[in-house]
A and B are shown apart, each in its own frame.
Chain A
Amino acid sequence: MLRLAGTRKTGWSLAVRTDEELIAEILDGQTAAFSELAARYRPRVERLCQRFFSDPETARDLAQESFIRAYTSLSTYRREMPFGAWLRAIATNLCYDELRRRQRRPEELIADFTASEMQWMNLVNEATPEEIVSAAEQLREAHDMAHRLLDSLRPEDRTVLILRESEGMNVAEIARTMGWSEAKVKIRAFRARRFLRKQAERMKSALGSRTCG
Chain B
Amino acid sequence: MLNCFEARRRFPSFWKRELQAEARAELTEHLRNCGRCDEAFRAFALTAPVLHSDSAPAGEFPRRVGSSGGFQARRPAALARREAGRRRLAASAAAMLLVAASMAAYLAVTAPIGTLSDELSVEPPVSQIFGMDPNSPGDDLAG
Query: A146-B47, A165-B51 are known contacts; what are 16 more A-B pairs with Cβ within 8 Å?
Result: A31-B70, A35-B69, A36-B66, A38-B65, A38-B66, A46-B57, A61-B79, A62-B76, A65-B78, A71-B73, A73-B140, A129-B27, A132-B42, A133-B45, A136-B45, A165-B52
Prevailing SS type, chain A contact patch = helix
Residue of B nearest to A139 (CB): B49
Which residues of chain A come closer than 8 Å to B70, judged between CB atoms? 31-32, 34-35
Q: How far is the CA of A65 from the CA of B43 in the complex (A)?
A: 33
Minimum distance in angstroms from B85 CB to a CB of chain A: 10
A58 partner residues in chain B, CB cutoff 8 A: 77-78
Q: Taking beta carbons and an 8 Å cutoff, which residues of A are in contact with B?
A: 31-32, 34-36, 38-39, 42-43, 46-47, 50-51, 54, 56-65, 67-71, 73, 76-77, 86, 89-90, 93-94, 97-98, 101, 124-125, 128-130, 132-133, 136-137, 142-143, 145-147, 149-150, 161-162, 165-166, 196-197, 200, 203
Contacts of A197 in B (CB 8 A): 43
Closest 10 CB pairs of A and B: A39-B66, A73-B142, A61-B76, A32-B70, A146-B50, A93-B141, A34-B71, A38-B65, A65-B76, A146-B49
B142 CB to closest chain A CB, in angstroms? 4
A128-B51 CB under 8 A given contacts A68-B73, A90-B141: no
Q: Kindly state whether residue B139 has any CB partner on chain A within 8 Å.
A: yes
Interface size in chain B (residues, C-beta < 8 A): 47
Scoring B27, B43, B52, B139 by chain A CB atoms within 10 A of each residue's CB, the highest score goes to B43
Separation of A145 and B48 alpha carbons in the complex (Å): 10
Q: Are B47 and A124 in contact (CB under 8 A)?
A: no
Max chain A C-beta neighbours (<10 A), residue from B12, B59, B71: B71
Tell me which residues across on chain B come within 8 A of A57, comparing CB atoms: 77
Which of chain A's residues have a CB closer than 8 A to the CB of B51?
51, 146, 150, 161-162, 165-166
Smallest CB gap from B28: residue in A: A129
Residues of B within 8 A of A38 (CB): 65-66, 71
Query: Which of B31, B45, B61, B71 is A32 in contact with, Cβ under 8 Å?
Result: B71
CB <8 Å contact, B14 and A129: yes
Complex: chain A residue closest to B66, CB-CB: A39
Known: A35-B68, A46-B61. A125 touches B50 (CB 8 A): no
Task: State A98–B99 Cα separation when bound (angstroms).
Answer: 35
- Chain A CB within 8 A of B62 CB: yes
Which of B58, B73, B78 is the one whose CB lies under 8 Å from A56? B58
A56 touches B59 (CB 8 A): yes
Q: Are A56 and B57 in contact (CB under 8 A)?
A: yes
Q: How far is the CA of A131 from the CA of B62 in the complex (A)?
A: 35
